[in-house]
Structure 1
Amino acid sequence: MRVKKIVLAVALIAAVGAQTGTALAEPDTVRIRDLGTLPGGTSSSVGAINDDGVIVGSADVGDRKSHATRWDRSGRITDLGTLAGYESSYATRINNRGVIVGYAATSREEHVRAVRWDRFGRLTELKPLPGDADSKPFGLNADGEVVGISGGGRGYRAVRWNRDGAVTELEGLGGDSWASAINDDGVVAGYSRRANELVSHVIRWAADGRSTDLTPNAEYSGRAEDINDAGTVVGVASPNAMRWDSDGKSTNLGEGQTATQINNRGTIIGYASAYPYRAGMWNSRGEYKALPGLPGEGDFLTAFGINDRDVIVGGSGLRAVRWDRDGRATDLGTLPGGSSSRALIINNAGVIAGDAYDTVSGGYHAVVWR
């Protein structure tokens, strides 16, 4: 089963947040909890959560360094360490077996290396392809397979690491390629360029590594953002949000939009790239619905995560928000005395994690809502 995660490089998306007729859910018993920081640090952040409620992310340890962290269900924090020769590390994915992936980084991330921790916290390096200096993971499935990129002087190449850590190149179109996500059947979504061309094509790799160009006639760049266990890929083929079914059939979800995540029910979340910059959702039939903001929270609205029950989390203005499957918004609140919060990820049990401003330390702390 795919564990929800934050989409890398998501920007704050503006939307109509305070509007007459905003649907609000009834108050419930969900409460915010500060997950704290590591010794010597003042801030922490979340990267992913599994269905057992184990959260991973990173926390600063002082001197401009950060270490990957894991919080168990009780909120106890563990420093996962980093590779020898690398100053920092970040945990970005966790599956339901407790396997974690992320990356180690040198100062200013001049070099990065993909890493994996087993359920006991033991660290393994995921090496790049021969001749490359760097590697970075973007996807993890239930079996512990990892996908991402290997990079060096020859550009970037999409790769897969098996459970034993062996790396294999996923053949692209001859130029740079990236692997964005992998489902539990080992099917991979990503994008690739032809040699000496700038236009990127959306690619799906089968479990055996065979590739299919989903945008063979592309005049403008596209990219895959996510894939579900049915093999449905979502992303963008500029300037349109797109969905590609497992048989290759494409659906245009709307001009000026980007689709960022899809769950196993086929529900998609994303955002518009032009004013009024609405964050919204598409159902499995491709029908779009704008998500409402919280009253009084201004014009900024984000949708960061969705679970398999169609519950969505994000932010409205400076407040973390949860939308139920009917689109009704719940204000998740902030830390005591705090001024801002964001809900970034949600698991299938409805546990939410994100970050919130802590007035004591003056930094943002990882938080959980249960």
Structure 2
Amino acid sequence: MRVHGNGRWNTSVAWRLPCLLLALAMGGSALAGPAGAPVLDDGKHGPAPAGYRVVNLGSGDLSALPKINAKGQVAFSLWDGAASHGYFFDGERVRDIGTLGGSDTVALGLNDAGQVAGGSFTAAGGERAFVWSAGGGMLDLGVLPGAGNSRAQAINRHGVVTGYAEGVPSTPPLAFRWSRTDGMTSLGALAPDAGGASFGAALNDAGLIAGAADTASFDRHAFAWTATRGLADIDTLGSSFSDVVAVGARGEVAGSRVPAGNALLYRAFLWTPGGGMRDLGAAGAAESFALAMSPGARIAGLVNLAGGDQRAMTWTRAEGMRVLGTFGGANSRAIQANDRGQVVGYATDRTQDFRAFLWSARSGLVDLNTRLRQAPPGLVLDDALAINDDGAIVASSNAGLVLLTPGAGAADGHVVGPVVAPDVVPAGTAFAATVAWVDPGRVGTRGVRWSWGDGSGVQAGRVREGGSEAGVGSARASHHFARPGVYRVAATVLDSKGRGTTVSHTVVAAAAGAGTVAAKGSVLSPRGAWRKAPAWVGKAGFSLVAPVAGTVPAAQSAQSATVPAQLRFDLPGLRFYSASLRFLGRQGAQRVFEGEGTINGAGSYRARLATTLGLAGAAPGRFALKIWQSGAAPGNEVVHYDNSGTLPGAVAAPLVDARIVTE
């Protein structure tokens, strides 16, 4: 966790946050494969598959990036509007893996045996590292002596786990290793006498663990741990900051670093036991970030261009760094790679829409939307998030998280598309919602259940099957919201065997004539905005209902005080919610709001939003959001997110799209 104040890494503040807020959602560990020779891309693995079968995994906001193993099993976490749930797809069905008695679970690691690792809350409110399996359920891994919380970040094929444990507020986080035979043991720290923190992030099957730890000079350096050598500082380049995203099968460690004296100038690195840390450069760009690495040491990530745009990149020993381009738009990002030379991520097109891609040296950049077989009507893939060596891909879409399986096999059940409904509606006014699906296995449809998120109960929808295409069905329902607010509309399609597939859509209900602005849309979250993951660039969604007293007649201004203000802002691993947004007034061509809220359902944070939403003729569209905590001393605030462009390395966040009702 980075706190930018005096130019040092302020770990004395950062480690006091709950474990749920400290996961490196952008990184995660690459699943370690067999310890044999790595398979590097030689351009001979053939073109991209001709088609993918789609499997619905779940609908909601991502709490962390998903993981996929060699068997095509998937571990993922979704926020349903009330809590974060961890799930496991076993190849046939999705299981909710439960909790340790509390409200939230986040799945962060997965191995080929189908074991899931992560963090789950207990009934007492603390978070504990866990390992889950279908046969054994969820096992609490405990904590280190003196700690109260723990979280698992990665698990290898032998069931060995790494992560960190901490005591809030007095004990700094310490990296740990856990196994069934040894239990949880501390990996130590680089500066134990100075209270330095350490975080376990990734490991391989040979037992090498890597992460980051504070030094005696208050920098943060990448480390490697082995049973024989213990914890060792591997930053041989003398960086002011270095962090780890993955460990390779042969002991390679990949991550990103900030060279000493270069402020926020990042470079991807690769460390090897024999060669030390190697700066991978930036292929002529201003910066580079490593976001993932395959077991065979193919790196996926991005480069920052001088003008602020980003491009996906991949790196191998044989070819060096290669920039992958876009579909005609301004940005792209690679997030995962496999050992067949395939890389996945997102790229924007000429209209700046996000499209999920697959890249290989032979096929180049391929829009995965063009390779779907028997896809439901309206389905759009906007980002590819994980890939295994068989080419199975986990992607996000307008119908939630989906699995793409290469080949032409038919699904056993429904494949459901997005809920089609207005994004913003006036409260008290009826609106229609529809959902469509395909039934490749011809199992038949039992019915569709609608849930509106306002406590009104479940409603049956009118089902229509057949139509112009065999196996295609749809359902329609109507509803009205009695009060303004932000609501999750969900449709569950039931097949003849009673199995349900749920998709959802957020609808913002606006107050009629009450002096409010209601909006839903997305912004391009720029590099540097999210302090915990400065490399993150991607689409962040928002929903907003807020009074704008003082911009309307007095009678309406008084009425607006009764309108419940809500702001939801979501990107994977950061979910901010405020129900106390207050309108401060106009600042130039923007409206300014302030309020308090939570991140990932916990803590107490302040937020300030300056936006052109709802202002006629305001251009360009802008959504400048800052989220922070007040420090122990005046002026010592801890900033967690800031896309306003006022801080080094950040640029103002443009609106990607927005639907607005202003009264």
TM-score normalised per structure 2: 0.44
**CA 1:107–1:295: 2 relative to 1, 3 Å:** farther
Pair 1:161 & 2:225 matched? yes
What is the aligned partner in structure 2 of residue 260 from structure 1?
335
Matches within 5 A, 1:126-137: 126-130=187-191, 131=194, 133-137=196-200
Contact 1:230-1:264 at 8 Å conserved across structures: yes
Match of 1:226 in 2: 292
Paired residues of 2:282 and 2:303 also in contact (CA < 8 A): no
2:205 to 142, 154, 159: 142
Match for residue 33 of structure 1 among 92, 95, 106: 95
Measured against aligned partners, the alpha-carbon deviations of 1:124-157 in whole angstroms (never above 9, x if no partner) come to 1121213461111222111111111112562211
| Stretches of structure 2 lacking an aligned partner (at least 5 in a row) | 1-22, 28-50, 57-89, 305-309, 417-491, 493-498, 506-599, 602-663
> Following the alignment from structure 2 to structure 1, what is the Cα–Cα distance between the partners of residues 237 and 195?
17
Corresponding position of 1:247: 318
Matched, 1:62 2:123: yes
Alignment of 1:213-362 (within 5 A): 213-215=279-281, 220-238=286-304, 239-247=310-318, 249-254=320-325, 256-272=331-347, 275-285=352-362, 287-292=364-369, 295=376, 301-325=382-406
Q: Secondary structure at the match of 1:258?
A: strand
- Partner residue, 1:178: 243
Cα distance, 1:193–1:337 mapped onto 2, change above 3 Å = closer
C-alpha distance in 2, partners of 1:332/1:81?
40
The farther-off stretch of 220-229 and 261-270 is 220-229
Which residue number in structure 2 is paired with residue 191 of structure 1?
256
Q: Which has the higher contact order (CA 8 A, sep 6+)?
A: 1
Distance 1:150 1:33, change over 3 A: same
Unaligned runs of 5+ in 1: 1-5, 11-21, 342-362, 365-370
Tell me how far 1:295 sits from its aligned partner.
4.0
- Give deviations 1:283-327, integer Å, cap 9, x for gaps: 243611223396467767443322111101233235331101369
CA RMSD of aligned residues (A): 3.6
Count of matched residue pairs: 326
Counterpart CA distance in 1 for 2:199 and 2:297 is: 23
Change (3 A) 1:112 1:29: closer
Q: Distance in 1 between matches of 2:195 and 2:339?
A: 35
Change (3 A) 1:31 1:160: same
Aligned residues of 2:283 and 2:321 also touching (Cα < 8 A): no
After TM superposition, give the deviation of residue 24 of structure 1 in Å: 4.9
- Residues 262 and 268, structure 1, Cα contact 8 Å, conserved in 2: yes
Q: CA deviation at 1:112?
A: 2.1
| CA displacement at 1:177 relative to structure 2 | 1.5
- What's the CA shift string for 1:189-239, capped at 9, x where partnerless? 122222110211111112225222211676522111122233222211112
Rounded to whole Å, the distance in 2 between the matches of 1:321 and 1:77 is 24
User: How far, CA to CA, are the matches of 1:218 and 1:234 in structure 2?
Assistant: 17
Q: Distance in 2 between matches of 1:183 and 1:58?
A: 24
Residues 281 and 300 from structure 1, CA distance in 2 versus in 1: closer, same or farther, beyond 3 angstroms?
closer
Q: Distance in 1 between matches of 2:408 and 2:364?
A: 14
Distance of 1:267 and 1:216 partners within structure 2: 20
**Comparing 209-218 with 275-284, which one deviates more in the overlay?**
209-218
Cα distance in 1 for residues equivalent to 2:233 and 2:195: 12
1:32 maps to a residue whose letter is V
The 1:25/1:189 distance shift into structure 2, 3 A limit, reads closer
Answer yes or no: is the 8 Å Cα contact 1:258–1:273 preserved in 2.
Answer: no
Residue of 146, 154, 161 corresponding to 1:85: 146
1:36 Cα deviation after fit: 1.7
Normalising to structure 1: TM-score of the pair?
0.76
- Give the 3 Å change call, closer, same or farther, for CA 281–26 of structure 1 in structure 2: closer
State the identity as a percent. 27
Q: 1:320 to 1:110 in 2, by over 3 A?
A: farther
Deviation at 1:336, TM superposition (A): 5.8
Do the aligned residues in 2 keep the contact of 1:132 with 1:150 (CA within 8 Å)? no
| 8 Å Cα contact 1:201/1:221 also seen in 2 | yes
For 1:324, what is the secondary structure of its paired residue? strand
Distance 1:109 1:305, change over 3 A: farther
Larger C-alpha radius of gyration, 1 or 2? 2
Is the Cα–Cα contact under 8 Å of residues 282 and 321 in structure 2 kept in the other structure? no
- CA drift at 1:119: 3.5
Change (3 A) 1:76 1:252: same
Deviation by residue 1:82-116 (Cα, 9 ceiling, x = unmatched): 12222211112111111111111333898322111
Task: Determine which of 1, 5, 8 is the counterpart of 2:25.
Answer: 8
Relative to structure 1, the CA distance from residue 327 to residue 288 in structure 2 (aligned partners, 3 Å threshold; closer, same or farther) is farther
Name the SS for the 1:42 alignment partner.
Answer: strand
